[in-house]
Amino acid sequence: MSSLVPAREPAILPGSTIGILGSGQLGRMLALAARSLGYRVHVFSPEADAPAASVSDKEFVASYQDLEAIRSFARGVDVVTFEFENISSEATSTAAQHVPVRPSGSVLSITQNRLREKGFLQSRGFPVTPFRPVHCLDDLKRAAADLGLPCVMKTANFGYDGKGQFKLLNEAELEPAWDSISGAPAIYERFVPFAKEISVIGARTADGHFEAFPVFENTHTRHILDISVAPARVDATVERDARHLAEQILDALGVVGVLTVEMFLTSDNRILINELAPRVHNSGHLTLDACITSQFEQQVRAVCGLPLGSTTLLRPAAMSNLLGDLWENGEPDWVAALENPAVKLHLYGKREARSGRKMGHLTATGSTASEAVHRVVEARARLSDASQGNRLRSRT
């Protein structure tokens, strides 16, 4: 008897080996989730002794352009996934000659280039901000005349945490901005006066089963995520529509694994798709402490063909990033931050603290989303206040 439901592929069972391209903090938390489920983990990245390495079974240190090293890595694992999307299509296609790569290299190719990503979304009718491709200064000037100013110009490739992004307010800023990216392909987007930034992290299996986490409400500082909270403080219609859009996007891309959809919410409750990330996401870190299944366990389940876990939010929760700036006055006082028993600390094992570098995060739960935000912000403030006090005392 025929069926329209795709046949379930054989699961990659615990005891197998998962290969992760990238070995930063996302890879670290992904590796911990995989090990908890009984998998072995190999990581691959150009940096030795990166955060994921200490919790993995084997570390490969080589360039993503070293295809022979990619082959050796892929031969020793049962499935490949990634925590970092700035990986060449040659690397993923080489790995795919030996084992499944999930999400696929085609998903990676679309989402790692902003022009391809926006073009894909627009061609399938998803709501996006008006945009124009920019390949030369004249393109930039025409885009400004067509879509107006202010705008946001972004390099098409290799951008995250605000890197390669410029908010341009007037015509005098166009040429200097173009010169600063040295002729790299870019995208010009009409500036959106949004009311909130939200995100949806969805997971999809090879047979098309989809689950989404609750909508996250996000606040950025200096283009870096500062605070995330769930449930997002939006109405039920926005919650439903955002999760439905995420499901449609994962289906359109044929994602096997986890993909994050970053969105703008306008003052009249319209949703616009901002960017896609084919991986677990900073805004979903609170799922470690507040959901039945974390985003990291969900990625393992999805790429290995296991049934997806429940995304139920057990209690309102908030996450705050801990950047290297907190170490400027010495080691933060972790005791002070953890005085509230509703606060939990996650550090990534990075040896050097630098300004803007993500070193860890705090999560807090509460009876409401706003209470959770208050608790996590207060706990982070105690870190810097205490370290400042310790430094002053050491001088006297």
Domain positions in the chain are 17-101, 130-190, 196-395
**CATH tag for 196-395 (out of 3.40.50.20, 3.30.470.20, 2.60.260.20, 3.40.50.9100):** 3.30.470.20
Work out the angle at residue 393's Cα, subtended by the Cα atoms of residues 390 and 396, and round it to the nearest 5 degrees. Answer: 155
Please answer whether residues 284 and 277 qualify as being in contact, where contact means their C-beta atoms are separated by less than 8 angstroms: no
Cα distances from 260 to residues 148, 159, 211, 347, in angstroms, run 29, 15, 12, 22
Confidence of residue 222 (pLDDT cuts 50, 70, 90): confident
Fold of 130-190: Dna Ligase; domain 1 (3.30.1490)
Which residue shows structure tokens 């994050």? Answer: 260
Mean pLDDT of 166-187: 93
- Pull the structure tokens for residue 101: 């790569």
**Closest to 131 (Cα-Cα) out of 305, 119, 141, 123:** 119
Confidence of residue 192 (pLDDT cuts 50, 70, 90): confident
| Mean confidence (pLDDT) of the chain | 93
Confidence of residue 185 (pLDDT cuts 50, 70, 90): very high
- Pull the structure tokens for residue 88: 């060449």
- Does the domain made of 17-101 have the CATH classification 3.40.50.20? yes
pLDDT given at position 89:
87
pLDDT given at position 394:
39
Q: Is the pLDDT higher at 89 or at 9?
A: 89
Please answer whether residues 215 and 198 qualify as being in contact, where contact means their C-beta atoms are separated by less than 8 angstroms: yes
pLDDT of 230 over the 70 cut:
yes
What span, in angstroms and rounded, lies between the C-alpha atoms of 348 and 358?
A: 8
What span, in angstroms and rounded, lies between the C-alpha atoms of 145 and 132?
A: 11
Same fold across 17-101 and 130-190: no
Q: Show Cβ contacts of residue 274 under 8 Å, excluding neighbours closer than 6 positions.
A: 129, 197, 262, 263, 264
Residue 142: helix, strand or coil by DSSP? helix
Could you tell me how many residues make up the chain?
396
Confidence of residue 329 (pLDDT cuts 50, 70, 90): confident
What would the pLDDT profile of 267-303 be if each residue is shown by its tens digit? 999 999 999 999 999 999 999 999 999 999 999 999 9
